Structure 1
Amino acid sequence: MNLPTKFLGMCIASLLLAAGPARAEVQITLKSAKPSSSYYKMGEQLAQALKAGSQGEIIVTLGESAGSVQNILDAESQEDDYIFTSPPVLVSLAQQGKAMFADKDNSDFGSIRALFPIPSLTMHFVMAQEAGSLTFSDLDGKSLLMDNGTFAAREGAKYIKLFGLEGKVSVVDTELSGALEALKSGKVDGFVMAGSWPAPMVVEVSEETGINLLTMDGEEVKKTKRTRMVIPGGTYAGEDDAITTTSVPMVVYTTTEMDDDTAYLLTKTFWAQKKVMARSAAWWEGVDDELMVNITGRLHPGALKFYNEVRFPIAEDQR
């Protein structure tokens, strides 16, 4: 499914050369996550890359956000061109008026359209090497640090219940910032976090102390109803083998209020700059055309025009 890198690069380069005279400066508002999140950092990188790649034609203002649900709720109230990050599943729930959007008018979200994928939110179950844990069955009798209220904590608690480990795993509710010291001192056997790989925090912990990342089999992944993710071997110090875990796809969205030319320019510039971003932040290396399959719902017509030109695989329900 992957397009040859050389071919994709030639396609994008040709499109850039054929772009014609510069348009007026495009002002974009981007909402991603809280400043403490890795996705806020990605937002900063994305804003810089879009400006550089468009030679200053795209100017992105990054705003603080309470998270994906709020990003979706804000979609109908933005006056400027608006882009935001969200898992596709939340956009689907909003457009169907379900779950946390049940009391909202789902017609308000009908104009949301996808632009491009970004690094997925990937579950990490990080264990002290001394704990000898490699699979979920090894967690019996172990303690896990989970930062209550976070996605990782909710997901971690879900897996503990799902795999019959309730009452067998001690959950320590502590901020994730204290995980390294808690692991090194032996106060916990491991911790749970969610972030795009390589996650800077896990990189730091793996370099400071020996760790094992829990890996999952195919049946376990199916039970979670999440997307399978493989973290390549060598991503973290001491982890030479690939790790199979779960993830939540993340996508940059806009609405039909954005004109086709702007959506086209944003999408084209993103893919042209992705390799540049990966030089300073390795998590962008995991973004390729294979992630397009994770986008549920429709693409913006301007983005679709670009994907047709570079021959990305696009499903009928994405058109």
Structure 2
Amino acid sequence: MNLLLKSAVAASAITAFALTSASAETRVTYKSAKTGSSYYQMGVELAEAMKAGTGGEISVTVEESQGSVQNVMEVRARGGDYVFTTPPALVGLAQQGKAMFEGKGSPAFDDIRALFPIPSLTMHFVMSRDSDVTEMKGLAGKTILLGKGSFGATEGEAYLKLFGLEESVKIADAELSNAVAALKNGQIDGFVTAGSWPAPNVVEAAASTPVTVLSLTDEQIAETKRTKMTIPAGTYAEQTSDITTTSLPVVAFTTTRMDDDTAYQLTKTFWESKAKLSETSRWWNGVAEALLSNISGKIHPGAVRYYDEVGIELSDAQK
């Protein structure tokens, strides 16, 4: 075989190998939240876990998002490689064409299927120890920072009204990003935030000044119509007992356009990587099998296959 022919054969072999390798890799787009947020960081961690857990067979690209509504709306134009995060309740609204989806309905919304839960949006009412506030009614007469435009701000305002505190609480006119400094300097008595626990801004606040994160009673939680969440003792500095509060479940979804094998592999790899993920970031400790009960819609058949394999019971409505 002459040198030219050998070179051609070698080049063909390399090309064939490259094509085989490329075809073996499954590419997935994961859309969650704004860059810099804890949920965007979760996406980055998930992408790394998927790559490691599948030996590079699944490659996840994390995309910035403007929020859960946008994530759901993009289902209309996305293919089988699309994974996104949103509260299950929002998927229900999209499928019914209600609230923010009124007049924007699409048959594509009916194809949305769940994969696995991720850390819930958990409400934190963070008070300085000097404020002497230890329960919700103690907020009367205090200055609280709610922030603007976030789920935590909207939810916090709703709770003040629900518990008859809207007239007695002074709302600070400042951004949530200023909360820790304002609390430390005594400009506010407390702030409200929502996020996975441990929430970075609550960790920062507790590390810089003594704080109390308020618990809600079972009756108050029932009034909010949200899901009960327990933040274990020791999550934040000087936190000696569990915190009982509310949460909004968040789930990773895809659609029926995703093939069963990919959905199966994503779900399997997530649960098998969760212990290692928890070592990387403590917020993954907040994810447990029990959170699957918060999924009110259907779960992807590929994910159902995994849950059946490991003996996790699902409801008939989820299958």
TM-score, structure 2 as length reference: 0.92
Asked whether the equivalents of residues 80 and 256 of structure 2 are also in contact (C-alpha less than 8 Å), the reply is: no
Structure 1 match to 2:244? 244
| Contact kept? 1:96, 1:106, Cα under 8 Å | no
Q: Which residue of 2 aligns with 1:35?
A: 35
Q: Distance in 2 between matches of 1:188 and 1:95?
A: 41
Counterparts of residues 272-283 of structure 1 (less than 5 Å): 272-283=272-283
* C-alpha deviation, 1:129, in angstroms: 0.3
- The secondary structure found in structure 2 opposite 1:61 is strand
Residue range with higher mean Cα deviation, 99-108 or 178-187: 99-108
Do 1:146 and 1:152's aligned partners in 2 also have CA atoms closer than 8 Å?
A: yes
The 8 Å contact of residues 23 and 57 in structure 1, kept in 2 or not, is answered as no
CA contact (8 A) 1:29 1:80 kept: no
Percent of residue pairs bearing the same amino acid type? 54
* Structure-1 residue corresponding to 2:51: 51
Matched-pair contact (CA < 8 Å) for 1:289–1:313: no
Aligned residue for 1:304? 304
Instruction: Give per-residue Cα distances to partners, 1:83-136, cap 9 Å, x unaligned.
Output: 000000000100111100011124230000000000100000100001011111
| Structure 2 contact 32–71 (Cα < 8 Å) conserved | yes
Structure ID, larger Rg:
2
Rounded Cα–Cα distance in structure 1 between residues aligned with 2:297 and 2:157: 29
CA contact (8 A) 2:202 2:236 kept: yes
RMSD: 1.2
Unmatched runs of 5 consecutive residues or more in structure 2: 1-21
Map of 1:6 onto structure 2: none
What amino acid maps onto 2:149 in structure 1?
G
SS of aligned partner of 2:168:
coil
Shift of 1:181: 1.1
Report how far residue 67 of structure 1 moved.
0.6
Q: What is the match of residue 110 of structure 2?
A: 110
Correspondence for 1:152 = 152
Q: Which residue of 1 aligns with 2:268?
A: 268
Moved over 4 A (4+): none
* Offset at residue 207 of structure 1 (A): 1.1
- Give how far 1:180 is off: 1.2
Counterpart CA distance in 2 for 1:237 and 1:134 is: 16
**Could you say which residue in structure 2 is the equivalent of 1:15?**
none
- The residue identity in structure 2 corresponding to 1:272 is E
Deviation at 1:57, TM superposition (A): 0.6
Contact 2:30 2:83 in 1 (8 A): yes
The offset of 1:60, in angstroms, is 0.5
**Equivalences for residues 116-265 of structure 1 within 5 A:** 116-265=116-265
Paired residues of 1:123 and 1:245 also in contact (CA < 8 A): yes
State the shift of 1:199 in Å. Answer: 1.0
Q: Is the 8 A contact 2:114 2:299 kept in 1?
A: yes
Q: Distance in 1 between matches of 2:106 and 2:123?
A: 30
Shift of the alpha carbon at 1:176? 1.6
Residue 5 of structure 1 corresponds to which residue in structure 2?
none
Ranges in structure 1 where 5+ consecutive residues have no aligned partner: 1-21
TM-score (norm 1): 0.92
Structure 2 Cα separation of the partners of residues 112 and 200 of structure 1: 31
**SS of residue in 1 equivalent to 2:253:** strand
In the alignment, the residues of structure 2 paired with residue 262 and residue 108 of structure 1 have an alpha-carbon distance, to the nearest angstrom, of: 19
Determine the C-alpha separation between the residues in 2 that align with 1:103 and 1:93: 12
One-letter amino acid of the counterpart of residue 160, structure 1: L
Q: Offset of 1:80 from its aligned partner?
A: 5.3
* Partner Cα distance (1:42, 1:91) in 2: 21
Q: Which amino acid letter does the alignment assign opposite residue 125 of structure 2? A: F
